[in-house]
Structure 1
């Protein structure tokens, strides 16, 4: 797959003109990471913008006692830790591949120069990042307020097609919970006759009661 086609998988670049994508492709490297391989370490200076093109990556911190604190699991396609690259500060957390991952690494200094020299690209990227920030704010609010069942119910209602088509592992990663927790919630919803064995919704009104708080 050509680099341009890979870039177009990402919302941040979707809609750019061909010549604009070509400029970005010229400063982009495709790199594969094996499962459990470190993508970047906390306090490391960012040299690239990291676009997860395939796979799942985990961003985490380690506390003073050596305990791992998972901040978020990212499923492709998405950009990771872009604020560190934009604001030019050290990574506030580490990132590791949860399975075999493909990343697009956009050279930071060249990309910043490209944004400064091309207002159209810059404006498009800013709009995309703004949408992502709004989405992350919503995710954070749900993580703080919703319990596991409510998170799953919200996902099923808002993204029914994705829920039916995606594997449990993918849905769990997007909800930032373990596959085991997701399986327990789905069993509960099936036992309540809210979902059938194929994960189709049997009783949407009953499912929506989990969102009443």
Structure 2
């Protein structure tokens, strides 16, 4: 498949016509990366816009005690670069980005992209949606780190991303949510005992979504 066809297949770029797609191809390159590759580092300045074509990535920060703070996952067909201002002339990374699956990443010359697209009001709606999505992710992070207890943290992750919850090892989930593995086991047992989830061959299945959401929704509403 040509680079043009790959870009065209992405929902993010589907508002572009054939000529615009060709312009994007001319300022873009596709890179292939192995699992565990660190694609970007916090506070780094860049002139490349990064877009995840295939694979899976995660964003995280390191605190002053050298502890890792998980932020969010980045799924295929999503923007990796963090855009907070459509008028910005350079990009700055607000987090570290690690590829946790073998991935394909589109690198776009941001200065030229801004001239050819953003300054002409092309793809601005798509970028605005990304900014809103990042704002929601930030609010979820604040809730998780400062408002939620262990039960709320686990319940929200199960509801928001059950596929990832079942993909990860329990130890990794514990580190991500900043709870002890034994606490995670107790929370899962409690949710199962209350008929909210079931656990079959180590995989979680949601039995009562409304009750699951109510657990952490009460914390937000307080």
Name the TM-score, length of structure 1 as normaliser: 0.70
Q: Deviations over 1:130-174 (max 9, x none)?
A: 4323422432343232334324434555x5xx63x666237988x
C-alpha change, 1:195 and 1:28, in structure 2 (3 Å) is same
1:193 paired residue among 190, 195, 198? 195
Write the distance in 2 (CA, Å) between the matches of 1:95 and 1:45.
14
- Deviation, structure 1 residue 114: 1.2
Within 1, Cα distance between the matches of 2:5 and 2:149? 38
User: What's the CA shift for 1:30?
Assistant: 1.4
2:34 aligned residue? 34
For residues 35 and 52 of structure 1, what CA distance do their matches in structure 2 show?
13
Q: Secondary structure at the match of 2:13?
A: coil
User: Which residue is 2:148 aligned to?
Assistant: 146
- The normalised TM-score by structure 2 is 0.67
Residue among 156, 167, 170 paired with 1:169? 167
Gaps of 5+ in 1: none
Residue by residue, what CA displacement relative to the aligned partner does 1:87-138 show, whole Å, maximum 9, x if unpaired? 525434433323322211111122111125532x143234323432342243
Tell me the equivalent position of 1:46.
Answer: 46
**Aligned in 2, Cα 1:190/1:18: closer, same or farther, shift over 3 Å?**
farther
- How far off is 1:4 after superposition? 4.7
Kindly tell me the number of residue pairs found equivalent between the two proteins.
Answer: 204
Structure 1 vs Structure 2 CA RMSD = 3.8
Report the Cα distance in structure 1 between the residues aligned to 2:164 and 2:60, rounded to whole angstroms.
24
5+ long unaligned stretches in structure 2: none
